[in-house]
């Protein structure tokens, strides 16, 4: 069952679904529009090979460049990680499907499918792939749409993985020297 705006308001009002900071304008007909935070991580183009089974020995700066600001230009075909302004906390009976808002999809930006597990809490880190032309994004703009589904029963093991409680752009935690920025 997909939650409607009525259902979402009730989940938020009772504190079962937590959204901080909350603004009524992010509630849409069948989901929430989350806003862009103020940090991005650009995936670098490099000839260096990252061995994912031995990444703890790699230098994370060889593969990512982190920026902070209020405006970001996404260059053609560039891969970036960005984060939501909102910190969310899902109860164990809800999960979310993250989609790029259609305006940005129509500009040629792509976002791979992302799922939010029941029990997850944190700011979301989302990958975007640039269009065929540069596009400027600004912190605070609504850029993703999250559709929430009620599970047939609460998950027995709510999410408790390595990304629980993340804030800002969270880089892959396969690096031994990882950092949350």
Active-site residues, by number, are 127
Can you tell me whether residue 148 is helix, strand or coil?
Answer: strand
Rounded CA separation 88/10 (Å): 15
DSSP state of 113: -
Q: How far is CA 54 from CA 42, 49, 58, 175, 178, in A?
A: 22, 11, 8, 8, 13
Q: How far is CA 73 from the centre of its chain?
A: 18
Rounded CA separation 94/149 (Å): 6
Nearest residue to 124 via CA among 68, 164, 73: 164
DSSP state of 86: E
Q: Which residue has the tokens 């040629």?
A: 108
DSSP state of 101: -
């Amino acid at each position: 069952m997909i939650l409607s705006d009525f259902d979402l308001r009730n989940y938020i009002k009772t504190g079962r679904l937590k959204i901080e900071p909350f603004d009524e304008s992010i509630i849409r007909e069948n989901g929430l529009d989350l806003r862009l935070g103020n940090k991005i991580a650009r995936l670098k183009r490099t000839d260096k090979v990252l061995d994912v089974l031995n990444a703890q020995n790699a230098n994370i700066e060889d593969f990512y460049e982190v920026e902070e600001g209020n405006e970001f230009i996404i260059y053609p075909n560039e891969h970036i990680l960005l984060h939501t302004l909102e910190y969310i906390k899902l109860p164990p009976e809800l999960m979310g499907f993250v989609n790029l808002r259609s305006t940005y999809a129509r500009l040629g930006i792509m976002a791979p499918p992302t799922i939010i597990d029941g029990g997850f809490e944190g700011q979301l880190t989302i990958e975007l792939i640039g269009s065929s032309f540069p596009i400027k994004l600004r912190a605070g703009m609504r850029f993703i749409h999250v559709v929430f589904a009620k599970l047939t029963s609460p998950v027995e093991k709510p999410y408790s993985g390595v990304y629980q409680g993340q804030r800002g752009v969270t880089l892959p935690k396969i690096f031994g020297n990882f950092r949350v920025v």
